[in-house]
Amino acid sequence: MLDQTHVLEAFALVFSFNTLAWTLLGVVVGVGVGAMPGLSPSPAIALLLPLTFTMSLPAALGLLIGVYKGGIYGGSISAISFATPGTAEAGATVMDGYKLTEAGKGRKALQMALYASVTADMATSLLTIVLAPSLALVALNFGPSERLWMFALAIALLGALSGGHFAKGMFAAALGLFIGTIGSDPVSMVPRNTFGQWWLSDGVELVPLIIGLFAVATMIEKSSQAILHWVSKTETHKAVYRKISSTEEPLTFAEYRRCWKEMAIGTGVGAFAGILPGLGATVGAFLSYGVAMQMSPEKGIGTGKLEGVAAAEAGNNATAGPTMIPLLAFGIPGGTVAAMIGGALAIQGIQAGPRMFEMFPAQIYSLFIILIVANVLVLAAGYSLSGLFSRLGQAPLPLLAPIVLAMSMLGAYAYQTNSYDVGLALFFGLVGYLMNKAEMPIAPLIITFLLAPLAEESLRRALLINGGDWSTALFGSGLALSLALATAALIAFIAYGEFRKARRLSQQDQDAEAGA
Amino acid sequence: MFIRREVIARLALGVLTATALPGFAMAQDDFPSKDLQWVVPYSAGGGMDNWSRVVAEGLSQQIGQNVNVEVRAGAGGAIGWKYLLDQPADGYTLMIGSASPMIAVMSEETSPIKVTDVKIVNVLSDYNSQVMAQPGSDFDSWDKIKAFAEANPGKLTVGGTLSQSLAAASVMAQAGLQANFIPYPGTSAAVTDMLGGHINLAVVTPTTAVSLGDKAVPVLNVGPRANSEELTAELGEVPWVGDMGYEGMAQPRWIGVHPDTPDEIVAKLDAALKATLEDEATAKRIADMGEEIIYDSTPEATKTYGAIQKAIETYLPTMQ
């Protein structure tokens, strides 16, 4: 199935100075962005997306994928060095990572993070390369009815993402649903929910939304924190930072091998979290960490063990390749970054979908090769960069915030040379800030924003094809029926879990009252 | 007293007009004296965008001024169109279009833009939409399609973008057949569903038809003319609706300006664009894109636009 000429062509495209240089730049930028708390790879990719229009496709993919993979790893640098996760997905690395630093094993922790990330990433990138083309063949069987249930399944998984507060997660999802409906209806192009504003008739774009909800919101939050806790903030920061000296012991191979189980857990869970639309690196990290803890309670993960770092970092980096599988096989972006990579492909005239493999084989193979190359570059550059970026993360907020805000405004504008996008980014910055204050998770909003319009399109189309008959539109094929049952089972499972949690909590309340 | 005031008023008006005239004439003589804007109401990187960049570059050579391509996608083309209408009617902003923005504007009852809100300069290109089916299916020849549609009115599913589907819809209506038209945001999505057997037919551009190779079989050419020799060499003989006595629908790439633009300026733009298309370098770049130049001057192009408008009015309801 692998076409020799196209594979060779792909290699030639990737191993050119241009592509490799851009990939390396992407990795460096990504690690830096990941390491700095408040910045994360998604808005960085969003900012870089318009630039890729003038670049060749392999270079564009190298840059964006480099930023993404570098970013996921980069978050661990500040998580380990000063207990502040650089990215959401590095949150699971803090617990063991920082304790290791305090015990004088910071260098080991940083290296473990790097090696676990790279190992898991390599494994799942290979998985992506093997799986995607095979899935693409199966994908043709997914018509509008089947796709509808896939989206429903993904949206149902939101229950897993809501963290502590189910209701808050659902509210965020509802917000995302509404924002997703702003604009033109996907079938007959009639504007709706545009508040009478003509510039909203095409809806809200992903890039200004991400820039606003993440970059701008975080800068608003950090600035307001800094203003409110002016003195104590700088003091806390100094106390937290422990210098990781190069005279510390490096990681030994035996220690690396000892954590194979945790890395395997991370790889497996991460691949799963990556493939399923709607989950992502954060879920991968926390889920892997949780599973590793459950499976080996005797190892004491959470008290400052390398195993904890291995599980968390393997878990988040493992999602990088698989998150593209739904995009490559079905043309459906499974998450924010995949959606943006899909956008970069579209800019170059490549429509994502099951026929990409026959229509643009060389380009897709070059994407696969870049997945591996970017990973290798992260390995090569990762450790030396960690020293640099752990210090940069200390940049004073009065310097960091204006720069990030300026870049955000520029990026939002550059996306479509549309000044209304800047306004939207600012507006969503405020929304994101309020959501963070209310401890409302943002991930469900993004997911419904992305998936609901696609689900609507599929539903409408399925109904059109079946002449308005709901039963054939929804359950017309065996595949559709199985997916529908899976969705129902998942919702039931999540609901049961919530029910038991509520019972446990109320039981605890009752016990507390009885005891008091 | 009355007469004197009237005379003075008329004299004043005459003087004012006389002073304005040279300015007006000068504006026309000097056209173009600054950069032009070329609006593309389609997504970046697509066929229309590529066309625009190639022709805009050639045009700036011809007229000695920069031609800046402005991609303003959205709302099926309405956003770019609105932008055109917001610019002064001085011929310095032009827009490339097709049936798609026309359909977008005509299908929305409360649209602020009317399909007549444009003055056509000319047409750069045109193509024949091809109807494709899965080989070996019940729909891989026109006879089979007709048989199925007659036995099952309204069950035949035809997918494509709005403008492509319209071409098929006009032929179906002329043949007295009832089909079920499924709109897709892009040709590629329609083809995917057709190949997966979820819809019966897909209406596509010649480029897409050729790229499908053995995977799909072209069953009908619903354009205004028979397929060219080059296209027939790639696709094989495709029955043309004209040979069956039906009228196909054109898919022109037209260039338009603000409806209040003076005709003299429109003529200058037409001449400059014609020269651009005839220029060897530009013609070669277009051929390299795999596209064809089918030029129509202002009067012909305006007629074509009117014909498409009529086709939309007549056949769009059959699609909904």
Task: Give the tens place of pLDDT for each residue, B14-24.
Answer: 555 555 444 44
The chain B residues in contact with chain A (CB within 8 A) are: 43-46, 50, 70-71, 73-76, 78-79, 82, 104, 107-108, 112, 154-155, 157, 162, 180, 182-186, 188-189, 191-193, 195-199, 211, 215, 320
A507 to chain B, closest Cα gap in Å: 52
pLDDT in the model for residue A106: 80
A188 contact residues in B (CB cutoff 8 A): 107, 183, 320
A461 contact residues in B (CB cutoff 8 A): 182, 184
A459 to chain B, closest Cα gap in Å: 12
Contact present, B110 and B279 (Cβ < 8 Å):
no
Please give the backbone phi and psi of residue B231, each rounded to the nearest 5 degrees, phi first. Answer: -65, -40
> What's chain A's average pLDDT?
81
A464 to chain B, closest Cα gap in Å: 7
pLDDT in the model for residue A235: 45
Contact present, A75 and A39 (Cβ < 8 Å):
no
B182 to chain A, closest Cα gap in Å: 7
Contact present, A68 and A375 (Cβ < 8 Å):
no
d(CA A240, CA A73): 21
Q: What is the mean pLDDT of residues A222-250?
A: 60
Nearest CA in chain A to B81: A198
d(CA B40, CA B61): 20
Are A143 and B183 an interchain contact pair (Cβ–Cβ within 8 Å)? no
Pairing type for strands B253-257 and B119-125 reads antiparallel
What is the per-residue pLDDT across B163-199, written as a single tens digit (0 to 9) for each?
Answer: 888 999 999 999 999 999 998 877 777 888 888 889 9
Chosen for mutation from B152, B166, B192, B316 (greatest number of chain A CBs closer than 10 Å) is B192
* Secondary structure string (H, E, C) spanning chain B: CHHHHHHHHHHHHHHHHHHHHHHHHHHHHCCCCCCEEEEECCCCCCHHHHHHHHHHHHHHHHHCCCEEEEECCCHHHHHHHHHHHHCCCCCCEEEEECHHHHHHHHCCCCCCCCCCCCEEEEEEECCCCEEEECCCCCCCCHHHHHHHHHHCCCCEEEEECHHHHHHHHHHHHHCCCCEEEEECCCHHHHHHHHHCCCCCEEEECHHHHHHHHHHCEEEEECCCCCCCHHHHHHHCCCCEHHHHCCCCCCCCEEEEECCCCCHHHHHHHHHHHHHHHHCHHHHHHHHHCCCCCCCECHHHHHHHHHHHHHHHHHHHHHHC
pLDDT in the model for residue B290: 67
Percentage of residues in chain A with pLDDT exceeding 70? 89
Name which of A53, A186, A355 is nearest B192 (Cβ-Cβ): A355
pLDDT in the model for residue A151: 80
Cα distances (angstroms) measured from residue B111 to each of A358, B106, B252, B310: 40, 8, 23, 18
pLDDT in the model for residue B3: 57
pLDDT in the model for residue B18: 53
Nearest CA in chain A to B154: A467
Looking from the CA of A437 toward its CB, the CA atoms found within 13 Å total 12
Nearest CA in chain A to B196: A140
Bridge partner residues of B95 (DSSP): B39, B256
List, as one string, the DSSP characters of A213-224. IIIIHHHHHHHH
Give every residue of chain B whose pLDDT is below 70, as ranges: 1-29, 44-46, 290
A208 to chain B, closest Cα gap in Å: 16
d(CA A355, CA A360): 8
pLDDT in the model for residue A7: 81
Contact present, A183 and A202 (Cβ < 8 Å):
yes
Query: Is the pLDDT at A75 greater than 70, yes or no?
Result: yes
- Could you tell me the domains of chain B? 35-126+252-308 (3.40.190.150), 130-244 (3.40.190.10)
What is the per-residue pLDDT across A459-516, written as a single tens digit (0 to 9) for each?
Answer: 999 998 888 888 888 888 888 888 889 888 888 887 787 777 778 878 888 887 776 5
Are A184 and B73 an interchain contact pair (Cβ–Cβ within 8 Å)? no
Whether residue A43 is preceded by a cis peptide bond, meaning omega within 30 degrees of 0, is no
Q: Work out how many CB contacts closer than 8 A connect A with B.
A: 84
Q: Which token pair is A498?
A: 């919530």
pLDDT in the model for residue B148: 93
Which residues does A302 contact at the CB level (< 8 Å), separation at least 6? A95, A96, A293, A308
Q: What is the mean pLDDT of residues A153-163?
A: 64
Are A201 and B79 an interchain contact pair (Cβ–Cβ within 8 Å)? yes
Compare A248 and A506 and report the one with higher pLDDT: A506
Which of A34, A23, A17 shows the shortest CA–CA distance to A63?
A23
pLDDT in the model for residue A338: 84
Q: Which segments of A296-349 does DSSP mark as H helices, in order?
A: 306-317, 325-330, 336-347
Are A190 and B108 an interchain contact pair (Cβ–Cβ within 8 Å)? yes
ipTM of predicted assembly, 2 dp: 0.73
* Residue B263 amino acid letter: D
Structure-token match 């980014």, residue found: A425
B108 contact residues in A (CB cutoff 8 A): 189-191
A183 to chain B, closest Cα gap in Å: 8
Are B180 and A140 an interchain contact pair (Cβ–Cβ within 8 Å)? no
Residue A395 — pLDDT band, cuts 50, 70, 90? low
Are A351 and B188 an interchain contact pair (Cβ–Cβ within 8 Å)? yes
A199 contact residues in B (CB cutoff 8 A): 79
Query: Is the pLDDT at A384 greater than 50, yes or no?
Result: yes
How many Å is the maximal CA-CA distance in chain A?
76
Cα distances (angstroms) measured from residue A364 to each of A373, B123, B277: 14, 36, 35
Evaluated on CA atoms B309, B315, B319, B320, the torsion sign reads positive
Burial of A201 (0-12, 13-18, 19+ CB in 10 A): buried
* Residue B37 amino acid letter: Q
Q: Which token pair is A57?
A: 């496709």
B189 contact residues in A (CB cutoff 8 A): 331, 351, 353
Are A355 and B197 an interchain contact pair (Cβ–Cβ within 8 Å)? no
The verdict on pTM exceeding 0.80 is no
d(CA B62, CA B47): 23
Are B185 and A140 an interchain contact pair (Cβ–Cβ within 8 Å)? no
Name which of B107, B154, B186 is nearest A467 (Cβ-Cβ): B154
Name which of A142, A183, A186 is nearest B185 (Cβ-Cβ): A186
d(CA A305, CA A308): 5
Query: Is the pLDDT at A383 greater than 80, yes or no?
Result: no
Least confident of A52-66, A330-344, B85-99: A330-344
Burial of A296 (0-12, 13-18, 19+ CB in 10 A): middle
pLDDT in the model for residue B44: 65
pLDDT in the model for residue A489: 87
What is the per-residue pLDDT across A16-32, written as a single tens digit (0 to 9) for each?
Answer: 898 999 999 999 999 88
What is the per-residue pLDDT across B274-294, written as a single tens digit (0 to 9) for each?
Answer: 999 998 888 888 877 767 788
Are B195 and A187 an interchain contact pair (Cβ–Cβ within 8 Å)? no
d(CA A350, CA A269): 30
Count other Cβ atoms within 10 Å, centred on residue B244. Answer: 13
* DSSP class of A211: I
pLDDT in the model for residue A516: 59
